[in-house]
Structure 1
Amino acid sequence: MDFKDQLKNLFPEHQETAEPAVEKPSIWLQDAPILCKYEKRKGKPITILEGYTGATSDFKMLAKEIKTKLSVGGSFKDDKIIIQGDYRDKIMAMLKGKGFQVKRVGG
């Protein structure tokens, strides 16, 4: 007996309502690949994503999603996403899963 069956036993008159489907905003996919670079600044590794030609708000949304999925810090400056640490492989896999073309640059 699962949780829904138990609730039906407790509240027999209750009618289950369908939850509205939440649409995720679509991100514009581009023809040119996004460049995924690796650099060291002040001795610390960073990953830089650049080359997105869509709306700035979409790129900011993508930056926030990457930071939360990887649980790392980062920022969005000058049409570039800067992620703290060397996460090129994970970021590239994540972007390819979304349908982006990604090109690895450096190191």
Structure 2
Amino acid sequence: MDLQDQLKHLFPDHKPEPETETATPEDDIWMQDDPIICKYEKRKGKPITILEGYTGATEDFKLLAKELKTKLSVGGSFKDDKIIIQGDYRDKIMQILKEKGFVVKRVGG
């Protein structure tokens, strides 16, 4: 008699709840009310893409910045609650964010 059978004898009216899958770090869901603004600028003659308007935890936004830089194989930084990506990658960034469930708004050009 295993543990499951012993528990059934002790608690005959108990109905076990279905098991839920545990989320992996890649499946994290960020809660976002307003759309993330994706805009294009030139600084010192070089193009950059800026993401701003995230309302969640700063650590989550930093992880998102790192993931975007890794997927796009580009440089960038996280400053003043903004993600700055070197180069014009608005289309690719918007596609990645939409796959993650974000609402993204394109600004400028």
The bucket for the TM-score relative to the shorter chain is 0.7 to 0.9
Q: Distance in 1 between matches of 2:52 and 2:36?
A: 6
Matches within 5 A, 1:55-94: 55-94=57-96
Query: Equivalent residue for 2:9?
Result: none
Quick one: structure 1 residues 23 and 38, their matched pair in 2 at CA, closer, same or farther if it must change by over 3 Å?
same
Task: Give yes or no for the alignment of 1:38 onto 2:40.
Answer: yes
**Secondary structure of 2:25 counterpart:** coil
**Secondary structure of 1:86 counterpart:** coil
Q: How far has the Cα of 1:39 moved from its partner? A: 0.1
Query: Equivalent residue for 1:29?
Result: 31
Amino acid at match of 2:36: I
Amino acid at match of 2:68: I
CA RMSD of aligned residues (A): 1.4
Q: How far has the Cα of 1:80 moved from its partner? A: 0.1
TM-score by length of 2: 0.76
Query: Equivalent residue for 1:4?
Result: none
Amino acid at match of 1:99: G
Question: Runs of at least 4 residues of structure 1 off by over 3 A?
Answer: none
Q: Distance in 1 between matches of 2:101 and 2:95?
A: 10
Q: Count residues with an aligned counterpart.
A: 87
Amino acid at match of 1:76: F
In structure 2, stretches of 5+ residues that fail to align are 1-21
In structure 1, stretches of 5+ residues that fail to align are 1-20
Quick one: structure 1 residues 55 and 22, their matched pair in 2 at CA, closer, same or farther if it must change by over 3 Å?
closer
Q: Contact 2:69–2:85 at 8 Å: present in 1 too?
A: yes
Q: How far has the Cα of 1:22 moved from its partner? A: 7.6
Q: Distance in 2 between matches of 1:85 and 1:105?
A: 15
Structure number with larger C-alpha Rg: 2
**Secondary structure of 2:93 counterpart:** helix
